Amino acid sequence: MTENKKNILYYGDNLQILREYVADQSIDLIYLDPPFNSKRTYNVLFKDESGKDSEAQITAFDDTWHWDAVAEATYYELITEAPDTVSRMIGALRDFIGTNQMMAYLVMMAVRLVELYRVLKPTGSLYLHCDPTASHYLKIVLDTIFGGENFVNEIVWKRTNVHNDSKSWSKVSDVIFFYAKSKEFTWNPVYAPHSESHLASKYRNREKDGRLYTLSDMTSPNPRPNMMYDWKGHTSPPNGWRYSKETMARLDEEGRIWYPDNKSKRPRLKRYLDEMPGTLLGNVWTDINPINSQAAERLGYPTQKPLALLERIVQASSNEGDIVLDPFCGCGTTVAAAEKLNRCWIGIDITHLSIALQKYRLQESFPEAEFEVIGEPKSTDAARFLAEQDRFQFEWWALSLVKARPGQTTGPSKTGKKGADKGIDGVINFIDSAKGQPKRALVQVKSGKVNSATIRDLRGVIAREQAAIGVLITLESSTQPMRTEAVSAGYYESEAWGKKYPKIQILTIEELLDGAVIEMPPAWGTFKQAEKIDKETPTQTPLF
Q: What pLDDT was estimated at residue 45?
A: 30
Backbone angles phi, psi at 156, to 5 degrees: -105, 120
Q: What pLDDT was estimated at residue 202?
A: 86
Residues in the chain: 544
What's the pTM?
Answer: 0.76
Query: Which residues, listed in sequence order, are joined to residue 492 by a DSSP beta bridge?
Result: 501
Return the HEC string of 461-530: HHHHHCCCEEEEEECCCCCHHHHHHHHCCCEEECCCCCCEEECEEEEEHHHHHCCCCCCCCCCCCCCCCC
Residues of the chain with CATH 3.40.50: 30-190+281-326
Backbone angles phi, psi at 133, to 5 degrees: -55, -45
Q: Which CATH class is domain 397-513?
A: alpha beta
Q: What pLDDT was estimated at residue 53?
A: 33
CATH architecture of the domain with residue range 30-190+281-326 = 3-Layer(aba) Sandwich (3.40)
Q: What pLDDT was estimated at residue 52?
A: 36
Residues of the chain with CATH 3.40.1350.10: 397-513
Q: What pLDDT was estimated at residue 135?
A: 92
What DSSP assignment string belongs to 188-200?
---EEPPPHHHHH
Q: What pLDDT was estimated at residue 344?
A: 96
Low-confidence ranges of the chain (pLDDT < 50): 39-62, 409-420, 525-527, 541-544
Other beta carbons within 10 angstroms of residue 118's beta carbon come to 16
